[in-house]
Amino acid sequence: MKHQGWIEMHSHVLPHLDDGSNSIMMSLDMLRREAAQGVSIVCATPHYYADQASIGRFCQRREASFQMLRSALSYETLPRILPAAEVAFFSGMGECADLEQLCIRGTRTLMLEMPFTEWNDFQIEEVSALVLDRGFHVVLVHPERFCGSKNNVWRLKELAELPVAFQVNAGTLIRWRTRKLGLKLLQETQYPLLGSDCHNLTTRPPNLAEGRGVVARKLGETFLMKMDQSAARLIEPAAEKVVP
């Protein structure tokens, strides 16, 4: 059954920016697959690495790619694209003045990729500062990839208390070897999210519908609704949340 209005939190759909889409045609086909699954909003999250480009330069390139793709859209009904970034953790990000430019457009939601190492106190403190001192809504992308060490598993529990949202990849739930871990992490956070983290049409395709099917079967429709509410809340324009 086709559903309406799903939010894709994590995608590499913008062309020519990273290891995701390498052409406008591929981007359009990825968006068509998202639409066919019932997705109406796609967060475009190209990789951002602080040691490779300034935030200003990255945003210029992202905007050029976004506009190029938009100009190629025709009469088709395709999902709305929200420019964002998958920000690789960098030292000093807790005080970085330009960080808001990397959030999902119009929000204070930051999609954060933690380091692929053992996390230390300083790194956890930087993430805490982003949440508690600067009011960012931090989404930890694919936390399942960092569970190779007991230390990180324990620190993930700490981060979930802040609170920090966890975005598990649909593929993690689809593969039976990693399914249990993915479902456990979704239940650990107050703000569970699913994303396809799609990079192309073959090896890492848009597969949100399949992942949602696993959540529905294993955790129930009510949990799925909770995920959709988390996603909707995190893409709300920041200005709308200000209470007079």
Ranges within 101-120 binding Fe ion (CB under 5 A): none
3-state secondary structure of 113: strand
- Cβ proximity to Fe ion: between 156 and 198 the closer is 198
Q: Give how many residues touch Fe ion by CB under 5 A.
A: 2
Judged by CB under 5 A, which stretch of 48-56, 99-107, 194-202, 215-223 contacts Fe ion?
A: 194-202
Write a three-state SS string for 134-202.
CCCEEEEECHHHHCCCHHHHHHHHHHHCCCCEEEEEHHHHHCHHHHHHHHHHHHHCCCEEEECCECCCC
Which residue in the set 112, 197, 208, 230 belongs to the binding site for Fe ion (CB under 5 A)? 197
Give which of 241, 17, 21 is closest to 137, Cα–Cα: 241
Judged by CB under 5 A, which stretch of 83-91, 94-102, 177-185, 200-208 contacts Fe ion?
A: 83-91
Q: Using CA atoms, how far apart are residues 65 and 83, in angstroms rounded to an integer?
A: 10
How crowded is the C-beta side of 244, counted as CA atoms within 13 Å? 0
- Cβ proximity to Fe ion: between 138 and 218 the closer is 138
Which residue in the set 18, 34, 86, 126 belongs to the binding site for Fe ion (CB under 5 A)? 86
- Cβ proximity to Fe ion: between 61 and 218 the closer is 61
Q: Are 88 and 47 in contact (CB under 8 A)?
A: yes
Ranges within 135-174 binding Fe ion (CB under 5 A): none
- Cβ proximity to Fe ion: between 126 and 197 the closer is 197
- Cβ proximity to Fe ion: between 128 and 178 the closer is 178
- Cβ proximity to Fe ion: between 129 and 201 the closer is 201
| Least gap, CB of 42 to Fe ion (angstroms) | 13
Please report, as a single letter, which amino acid is at residue 210: E
Q: Using CA atoms, how far apart are residues 109 and 35, in angstroms rounded to an integer?
A: 23
Judged by CB under 5 A, which stretch of 49-57, 59-67, 189-197, 213-221 contacts Fe ion?
A: 189-197
In the block, residue with structure tokens 């380091």? 115
Binding site for Fe ion (CB under 5 A): 86, 197
